[in-house]
Every structure is written in structure tokens, then in C-alpha cells.
Copies of this chain bind each other. A is one copy, B any other.
Amino acid sequence: MKLYDKVANSLRENIHSGFFVERDKLPSIRQLVAEHNVSISTVQQAYHQLEMEGLIEARPKSGYFVAHKTTTPTLPITSRPAQRPIDVSQWQDVLEVLLAKENVSTTQLQHAMPNMSVPSLNPLLKKMSSLMRHQVALSLPYGNIKGTLQLREQIAKLATNSGCVLHPDDLVITSGCQEGLSVCLRSVTEPGDIVAIESPSFYGSMQAIKTANLKAIEIPTNAENGLSLAALELALEQWPIKAILVTPTANNPMGYSMPEADKKRLYQLAQSYDISIIEDDIYGDISYQSPRPKTIKSFDEDGRVLLCSSFSKTVAPGIRVGWIAPGRYRDKVTHVKYVSSSMCPTLPQLAIADFIETGAYNRHTRKVRLLYKQGRDHLIKCIKQYFPQDTRISFPQGGYVLWVELNKKFDAVKLAAQCKKGDVSIAPGTLFSATGKYRHCMRLNFSEKTEIEREQAIGKLGFYIEQQIEK
């Protein structure tokens, strides 16, 4: 355990035990240096860590305080899906969301779309434009089947941030993370196989399971630590599960990050049952923690982890640049990727490679991480203000979506329909279950729009929820 972890743990315990309560001033850095006999920077790092967790707040020129409770919500209850393999349904509902035409006036809380109007994206846009002007001929021929080498080199460097040692040859570029997940699923399974997934989980992965003729087994998660390893182990004992598909860092839709120890334990479980792990790390680089959390892939000793990611959530989805670190499945993954859509266009890859190489990507993710964290705290404040008192809210550790659990009597599918009239869009919880569960839940995006617009939208949602009570 690192020194700053020790200091942070002792503070965390004191907060949880109630020794320090809401809005209490915490000891000064100087005091803690003396108390723990550590350096100033160690204490600073410990405070930074707790701040990232939302447990404390820094006030300029005043020091650190226990966070005001508006930011730490009552978390959703651990999910309890049926523990048996099932066929994924819900495609019609997903399609409806995908085809939904929104007015410019709509406050979009439905899609997991990043903020794309931040100035830190400008270097990328400039590079794209410049490549198109000066190297447009590169956009014509077929590119490298595994992706442009320059980009694979940059991604390999980036991966060290999450604890991975990857060689550019270990990477396959894909058309976004969706293609990555689909390709990986088809590479490690045969039709009819069972894949374990978190519940709730991203509808795109579940639909990929469906079209690959696989069955899903939904593993319970809790809003704080993610996948229940105990439940997973029970499922592994009981069913011939072939692979686990997880989004362990800044999860969609819940926002949790699995603790590092759990990630390691998950890997060990996969090892002992000899199954593969498909790790969706698409939000990993916009985790609020710094340095960003390690991936499960970072513990991979025998190549059984297929790490998928893309720049769709950290940069912009329209770029369509994703990647797979397929471990020992490299040959199979290359095959399935070729068959899936041949090679990816070269220029977007070069633009992203430049964005990373110049340091602009790291600057950009640092900026938006803070923006999204503020967005989270603001949205939680609004929900507490406008939604019924027994509403439960997840507390994301990264990304820009959170999960709201209403009292079971509410119907978020109806709510989504009501919302449309009010120019607000939400993603009902049913989309995130293989069988239409979580009807009283919804996922909300907090990346886009201003705080005022978001507060108005949440106000409207609160009004529609009240209407449901009255009926």
C-alpha cells in the first residue's frame, strides 16, 4: 500500500465513522504531515484522492472540508437479475432510441454523448482539416488491416497510464468500440455459448450478444463496487460460461469503478475457470481519479483479457476510431475484424495519433474530467431537489452518465414518452437489461447543455413524475 493510500484510508475511516461530519473542516496539510510523518506531497495526494471520490471538498484559501451531502446520494439497491442464461430482447426499444429525431431545443439526457464544444478539441479539428488539405490522397487507398502504425504506437504509449504494457503489434484498430465488442464476442465464442454481463449494462453489448447467437447471464452489480464477484463465482460454478463482458471503470450506465483488488480477483476467477474477459474501457480515460484506474488487462498474464476501447466517449463518437488489445486472440480478432468491415479509414487515425502525440489528448481529458465531475455534482443536486425523496442515484467515478432508481411504482418508459412533449429525452432503464427489467430506473447524461438547461430539464422530469403519482 502506498503512503498516500494510508493517509487517505485513515481520513476516510474518520469520515465514515462520523468523527468528521458533513461540512467539518479537516486537518491542515501541516498537521497531517506531522501526524503521519510523511511529506507534504503525500498528504496532498491523499486529499486529492478523497476529493476525487467526492468525499471531501477543497475551498480556496480555507482548506479541506467533508463534502456537503448533496453530492453523496443514496445509492441504488444491488440489482437482482435471474441467475440463468437468457436470450437478449429489447432491440425494438433500442432502435427507437437510435432513430429518435431530436429538435435542437431538446435537452438531451438520453445518449451517452461527450461534450463536443470544448476548445480542447480544437487541435484535433485543425489536424483533421490540415490532413484533408495536404494529404487527402491518403484517404483513398486501403489502409493497414490492423490499423495505422502511428496510431497503434500512440495507443500503446497511452495504455501505460492504465498499467498495461502493449506493443503496437498487439493492437487492432476498429470502427469504434461497438465493432471492437462485436468482434471480440465473435472471436472467443461459438453460437449458443453463454456470456456473463453486468446488470444493468450497455445495450450495445447486449445486442451484440444477441446477434452473435449467444446467451447472456446477468450478474448482479452494486452501485459502489460494480460486479458482484460472489454472484459471478456462483454463476461460473453453475453454468458453462465462456466469457465475461464487463465495463469495470466508470461503468455505463452506473458510473462505478470496480476497486483494483476486485479487478484482480475477477481476473483470477477467469483464470481458474479458464474463460476470457472482454473489458470495455471506453470511459476509462475520463475516470475522475488521477492517475486513472488500472484496467483488468493490466493484470493479464496469459492473454485471456481482450481490452476494447475507443475515442468515441473521450473525444467524439463521429470519429469512429476504436481499438482492441486482443491478447492471445490476436489472429482470430484480426480475421473477424477484416470480415466485419475490412480496414478503417486512414486520416481519422492519423489525426487521433497526432492528438495523442502532441499531448493535446491528455490536456483534453484532464479538462473534461473536471467538467464532467462538476456536471455530476450539479445533476445530483438537481435530482435531489426535484425528484421524490426516496429516489436513489448512482455516484459516478468517471464519464457523464448516472443511474436513477425511482420507487418501484414509477414507470420510466412512460416517463420517456411524457418527456418528449417537454423537449427532454431520457434513456429508460429497460434498455439496460436483457429482458426489460429496471422499468423504474433511467440513465441520464450530464455532459451536454448548460447547468440552467439541465436544471430546467430535471425540473420538468420531476413534474412528470408527480403526474404519474396523481394518476
Q: Is A208 an interface residue (CB 8 A)?
A: yes
**Which B residues touch A133, using CB under 8 A?**
129, 132-133
Instruction: Report the minimal beta-carbon distance from A184 to chain B, rounded to whole angstroms.
Output: 13
**Which B residues touch A317, using CB under 8 A?**
140-142, 342
**Which B residues touch A341, using CB under 8 A?**
174-176, 178-179, 182, 320, 340-341
**Which B residues touch A215, using CB under 8 A?**
none
When the two chains form the complex, which single residue of B94, B98, B319, B334 contacts A345, counting CB atoms closer than 8 Å?
B319
Q: Is A143 an interface residue (CB 8 A)?
A: yes
Within 8 A of B (CB), among A420-462: none
Contact B191 A339 (CB under 8 A): no
Q: Is A139 an interface residue (CB 8 A)?
A: yes
* Residue in A176, A319, A345 with the greatest tally of chain B CB atoms within 10 Å: A345
Q: Is A346 an interface residue (CB 8 A)?
A: yes
Chain B residue with minimal CB distance to A205?
A: B339
Q: In whole angstroms, what is the CA distance A39 to B257 when docked?
A: 79
Contact B140 A129 (CB under 8 A): no
Within 8 A of B (CB), among A208-228: 208, 210-211, 213
Q: Is A58 an interface residue (CB 8 A)?
A: no
Digitize A331-367: 1 where CB-to-B-CB distance is under 8 Å, 0 elsewhere. Answer: 1001110111110111010000000000000000000
Within 8 A of B (CB), among A133-152: 133, 136-143, 145-146
**Which B residues touch A128, using CB under 8 A?**
132, 136, 139
**Which B residues touch A182, using CB under 8 A?**
339-341
Q: In whole angstroms, what is the CA distance A139 to B98 when docked?
A: 18
Digitize A105-116: 1 where CB-to-B-CB distance is under 8 Å, 0 elsewhere. Answer: 000000101001
Question: Interface majority SS on A: helix, strand, loop or mixed?
Answer: helix
Contact B142 A99 (CB under 8 A): no
When the two chains form the complex, which single residue of B136, B190, B191, B346 contacts A125, counting CB atoms closer than 8 Å?
B136
Give the A interface residue count (CB, 8 A).
58
Q: In whole angstroms, what is the CA distance A10 to B139 when docked?
A: 48
Within 8 A of B (CB), among A278-323: 316-320
A91-B335 contact given A128-B132, A128-B139, A136-B128, CB 8 Å threshold? yes
Q: In whole angstroms, what is the CA distance A178 to B341 when docked?
A: 5
**Which B residues touch A373, using CB under 8 A?**
none
Instruction: Report the minimal beta-carbon distance from A19 to chain B, rounded to whole angstroms.
Output: 47
**Which B residues touch A163, using CB under 8 A?**
none
Q: Is A104 an interface residue (CB 8 A)?
A: no
Contact B98 A145 (CB under 8 A): yes
**Which B residues touch A344, using CB under 8 A?**
320
Contact B141 A116 (CB under 8 A): yes
Q: Is A154 an interface residue (CB 8 A)?
A: no
A336-B178 contact given A111-B142, A317-B142, CB 8 Å threshold? no
Q: Is A186 an interface residue (CB 8 A)?
A: yes
Q: In whole angstroms, what is the CA distance A146 to B101 when docked?
A: 13
Pull 16 A–B residue pairs with CB atoms less than 8 Å apart, ordered by A. Answer: A98-B145, A116-B141, A129-B133, A139-B318, A139-B319, A141-B318, A143-B318, A175-B175, A175-B341, A178-B339, A179-B340, A204-B339, A207-B335, A207-B339, A208-B339, A320-B341
Q: In the complex, given contacts A116-B140, A141-B318, A204-B338, what are 13 additional A-B residue pairs having Cβ atoms less than 8 angstroms apart?
A: A95-B334, A128-B132, A132-B132, A140-B319, A141-B316, A175-B341, A179-B340, A179-B342, A182-B341, A186-B211, A207-B338, A317-B342, A319-B345
User: Ordered nearest first, which 9 A-B pairs have the shortest CB separation?
Assistant: A140-B316, A191-B191, A132-B132, A179-B341, A175-B341, A178-B342, A116-B140, A98-B145, A211-B339
